[in-house]
Amino acid sequence: MIKTDISKLRRFLEKKLDQKRFEHTLGVTYTAAALAMCHSGDTKRAQIAGLLHDCAKCIDNDKKIAICEKHNIEINEIERKNPFLLHAKVGSYIAMHKYKVNDDDIVRAILNHTTGRPNMSQLEKIIYIADYIEPGRTQAPRLTAIRQEAFRDLDKALLIILEDMLVYLDSLGGDIDPMTRKTYEFYKNYDQNNNKEFNQ
C-alpha cells in the first residue's frame, strides 16, 4: 500500500509547474488512472506516476544539468545537446528524494516516459501512452485511433505511438535518442511474434 497523499501531491505540483504543464499533468494523471482501470492496473500508482512524470519539466536547463552533475546522473551526448530531455532523469531523482517515492515501478515510469524502453512494465506503458493521448493533446496524427487502441491493447497503442514519434522526430531532422528506436524495434517484433493485427 502506497501512503502518498494524492491531493497533497497535486497541490505541491501546482506550485512547481507552470499552468500549461500543470493542466497537462492533470490530463496525464486521470488518463493514466482510466487506463489502469481498463487494464486491471493499480490506479493509485498510475495517479502518482502521472502527477510526477513531468515534475522536473519547469526547472531551467542549466539547473537540470547542475542537478545531474551534483548527483552523478549520467548525461548522454543527446541530452547534453537537448537538456530538456533530462527532465525524465531529473524527475525520477526528485520523485525519489524529494517526494519520497520508493516504489521502483513508479520511479521507472517517470524515468522512461520520454523514450520508453524495451519490455516496459504495465505502469511504464500506461504513463508513456497517457502522456501522448491525454485530452489536452491535439496535434498528433492518428490520435483518435491511438486513444481507442489504448483502451483495448496497450502494446498496439504503444507501437503506433512509437512509429509516429519516429516519423515526427525524423521530420525534425535533429537527434533521436537511440532508445526510442530500440523501444520501437522491440514492440514491432513483439507485435509480429504475437500475430497481432492493427485495426486503425
Enumerate binding residues for Fe ion (CB under 5 A).
54, 131
Q: How far is the CB of 195 from Fe ion (least distance, A)?
A: 32
Q: Among residues 60 and 197, whose Cβ is nearest to Fe ion?
A: 60
Q: How far is the CB of 42 from Fe ion (least distance, A)?
A: 20
Q: How far is the CB of 5 from Fe ion (least distance, A)?
A: 22
Amino acid at 97: H
**3-state SS class at 30:** helix
Name the residue among 16, 20, 26 with its Cα closest to residue 63. 16
Q: Among residues 135 and 199, whose Cβ is nearest to Fe ion?
A: 135
Q: How far is the CB of 189 from Fe ion (least distance, A)?
A: 26
Name the residue among 114, 112, 127 with its Cα closest to residue 157. 127
Contact 176, 169 (CB under 8 A): yes
**Apex 102 CA angle, 99 and 104, nearest 5:** 120
As a whole number of angstroms, the distance between CA 110 and CA 105 comes to 9
Q: Among residues 131 and 177, whose Cβ is nearest to Fe ion?
A: 131
Q: Among residues 54 and 177, whose Cβ is nearest to Fe ion?
A: 54
